[in-house]
Structure formats: C-alpha cells, structure tokens
C-alpha cells in the first residue's frame, strides 16, 4: 500500500496509462463512479447526470492540479527557508515584514510547514515523524483542496436552487480528487513495475476513502455554518472555522498515510472506520431528507 507521488514525473509516464494493469484499474474506477452516481441520484434529486459528471471532471482536474502545484510551491519555500545564508535571511526578513499581517504570516508559516511535512513524508524516518509529516504535508493540503472543490461545486450547482444541506458536493469532490489522483498514480506505477493489486487498491479503495474524509468534513461544515457556505462571501475568520471543521479528516488522512508508509495493518482499520463513519453520516442525512419530504407531502394534502 506504499504510495508514490511526484509532480515532476518524466513526460513518458503518460504511457503508463496504457498498460494492462492501468486499463483494468481505469475500468474498475469507471464502474465505481457509475455506481456512486446511481446511488447519489436516489438520495439527492438535485444530483443529475450533468451535475455529477461535470462536477466530477472539474474537481478531478482542478483539485489535483492545485495540490500538485501547491506541493511544488511548499517544497520550494521550505528549501529556501532552510537553505542557509542569504536565502534563510531573506525568509526571516519576509516574516518580519508580515508581522502586522496575521493572514500573510499564517500563510507563510503554513506553506513552509507543509513543504517540510511533504518532504519528510517520503524520507526514511520513524513512524512518529511520519505521523506528523503526513498530517501536515499531505493531510492539510489534500483535505483543504477537496473542501475548496466542494464549495465550488455547491456554488455552481446547488446555491441557486436553495439547497444548502446536501453533502453531495463533498461526495463528488472526494470522488473527483481521488479519481484524479488515481490517474496520476497510474501513469507512474508502470515505471516502478507495480502489480495489479496496487492499481486496484488505488482505484477501488483510496477513491471512496477520499470521498469518506470529504463527507466527514462536510458534515461538520454544514452543522457549523447551518448549511454549506457561499465561497464568495467567506471572510478571514470563516477560513479558520473551515480549517477547524477539516481537522478530523486531516488527522485521519495523516494517520492512514503514516500507517501505509510503514506497512502497518492498522491502516485498514483507519480506512474502514472512516468509510463506516461517512456511510453513517449519509444514512442519517437520507433519513432526515425522507422525513422532511413526507412532512411536505402531508402538508400539501391538507
């Protein structure tokens, strides 16, 4: 279950998508998405074919590219900050110039932390170090990207309909990000001669796992904001609140990856627990939606 990731992969890695294992995995991934689409349509009448597939493509492309670019920026910032000499002094001067800008200083510190966390995530270090580095370098970045993607889906397809409590945007954002990440990995797995099981795990396990973490975060956001917030109206403090809502998903993501890197079976426990938690959240929302629909029908008959 070891994962490999790199933004600057060789250009010919794209040919890995045409290997036998990659084609089988892509077929399995497509089948999983079709099943997910059918299931969502039964619990959310607003999730049409156009809404689902368009949002899936948008979140899959935009969120994964955003994460890859931010990883490069964060790694560069980390290397500059601890490169010594003029580079380190320049970083210190920049931090001092942002002393009166809490937002700017927070972004600088967080960027450097993510860069360091991501760098140490793929180093041969102890489990406690991986636990911290995966949570900061991977969990924060990827869960934040999925949250942003979910808010974009909500603004584009749900906001004008007045539907604020549906968790479908978070499901789609999780599936889209997981699918996009899977395709990214499929291109590189062939170069490291991974077996078919690695492809299938990425397609049939990690994709719904990304969706589960997105749903867990989404449920907390809906409760805190009394519905999904409009991204165009978010202010500084709202982003802090969003981050707090993401914390359980960020920690689960980081712990899961750390277990994976050290091939500890507890990764399966964390993954299964996350998916069960997400299914419980969706089941509860489905039940509440059904009760509300019955009450509306009863009032209409009266």
Q: What is the mean pLDDT of residues 102-116?
A: 74
- Using the predicted structure, report yes or no on whether residue 300 has a pLDDT greater than 60: no
Q: CA 20, CA 196: separation in Å to the nearest integer?
A: 9
pLDDT (tens digit per residue) in 206-225: 999 999 999 999 999 999 99
pLDDT at 93 over 80: no
pLDDT value at position 52?
Answer: 95
Residue bearing tokens 């809404």 = 51
CB 7 within 8 A of CB 75: no
Helix 49-81 and helix 168-189, axial crossing angle in degrees, nearest 10: 60
pLDDT, one tens digit per residue, over 246-258 is 999 999 999 999 9
| Among 242, 182, 239, 252, CA closest to 212 | 252
Give residue 109's pLDDT: 74
Q: Is residue 54 part of a domain?
A: yes
Within 10 angstroms of residue 296's Cβ, the number of other Cβ atoms is 10
8: pLDDT strictly greater than 90: no
Where residue 48 falls (left for φ over 0; alpha for ψ -120 to 50; beta otherwise) is beta
Return the pLDDT at 13: 64
Q: Which domain holds residue 151?
A: 11-62+146-292
**162 part of a folded domain:** yes
Residue 2 confidence (pLDDT): 37
Q: Determine, yes or no, domain membership for 267.
A: yes
Say whether pLDDT at 44 is over 60.
yes
Distance CA 145, CA 71 (A): 12
What DSSP state is assigned to residue 229?
P
In this structure, is residue 3 part of a structural domain? no
Contacts of 150 (CB under 8 A, 6+ apart): 59, 169, 170, 172, 173, 174, 214, 218, 228
Mean pLDDT across the stretch 95-116? 72
pLDDT of 94 reads 65
199 in any annotated domain: yes
Q: Which long-range contacts (CB under 8 A, 24 or more apart) does 9-17 make?
A: 9/187, 9/188, 9/191, 10/191, 13/187, 13/188, 13/190, 13/191, 14/187, 15/187, 15/190, 16/186, 16/187, 16/188, 16/189, 16/190, 16/191, 17/183, 17/186, 17/187
- Is 228 within 8 Å of 55 (Cβ atoms)? no
State both tokens at 117.
Answer: 């966390």
pLDDT greater at residue 199 or residue 74: 199
Q: Is residue 157 part of a domain?
A: yes
Query: Are 254 and 136 contacting, i.e. CB atoms less than 8 angstroms apart?
Result: yes
Radius of gyration of the chain (CA): 20
Percentage of the chain modeled with pLDDT above 70: 83
Q: What is the mean pLDDT of the chain?
A: 84
Would 71 be classed as within a structural domain? Answer: no
Residue 112 in tokens: 């450097």
pLDDT tens per residue across span 269-291: 999 999 999 999 999 888 776 65
Q: Are 203 and 25 a contacting pair, CB within 8 Å?
A: yes
CA 273 – CA 252 distance, rounded (Å): 10
Q: Residue 76 in 3-state DSSP?
A: helix
Number of compact structural domains in the chain: 1
Res 4 pLDDT > 70: no
Label residues 131-145 b or e (16+ Cβ within 10 Å = b): bbbbbbbbbbbbbbb
Judge whether 274 lies within some domain: yes
Q: Which residue has the higher pLDDT, 11 or 277?
A: 277
């Amino acid at each position: 279950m070891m994962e490999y990731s790199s933004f600057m992969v060789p250009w010919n890695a794209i040919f890995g998508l045409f290997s036998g294992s990659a084609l089988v995995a892509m077929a399995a991934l497509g089948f999983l998405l079709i099943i997910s689409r059918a299931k969502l349509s039964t619990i959310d009448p607003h999730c049409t074919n156009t809404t689902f597939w368009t949002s899936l493509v948008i979140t899959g492309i935009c969120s994964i590219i955003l994460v890859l670019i931010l990883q490069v920026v964060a790694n560069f910032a980390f290397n500059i900050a601890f490169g010594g000499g003029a580079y380190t002094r320049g970083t210190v001067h920049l931090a001092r110039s942002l002393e009166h800008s809490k937002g700017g200083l927070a972004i600088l510190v967080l960027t450097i932390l993510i860069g360091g966390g991501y760098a140490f995530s793929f180093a041969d270090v102890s489990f406690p170090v991986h636990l911290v580095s995966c949570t900061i370098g991977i969990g924060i970045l990827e869960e934040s990207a999925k949250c942003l993607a979910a808010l974009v889906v909500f603004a584009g397809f749900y906001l004008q309909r007045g539907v604020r409590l549906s968790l479908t945007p978070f499901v789609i954002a999780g599936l889209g990000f997981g699918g996009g990440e899977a395709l990214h990995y499929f291109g590189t797995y062939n170069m490291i001669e991974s077996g078919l099981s690695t492809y299938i795990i990425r397609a049939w396990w990690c994709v719904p796992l990304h969706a589960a973490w997105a749903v867990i975060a989404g449920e907390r956001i809906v409760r805190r904001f009394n519905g999904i917030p409009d991204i165009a109206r978010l202010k500084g403090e709202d982003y802090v609140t969003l981050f707090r809502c993401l914390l359980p998903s960020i920690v689960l993501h980081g712990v899961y990856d750390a277990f994976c890197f050290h091939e500890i079976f507890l990764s399966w426990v964390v993954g299964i627990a996350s998916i069960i938690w997400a299914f419980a959240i969706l089941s509860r929302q489905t039940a509440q939606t059904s009760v509300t629909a019955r009450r509306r029908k009863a009032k209409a008959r009266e």
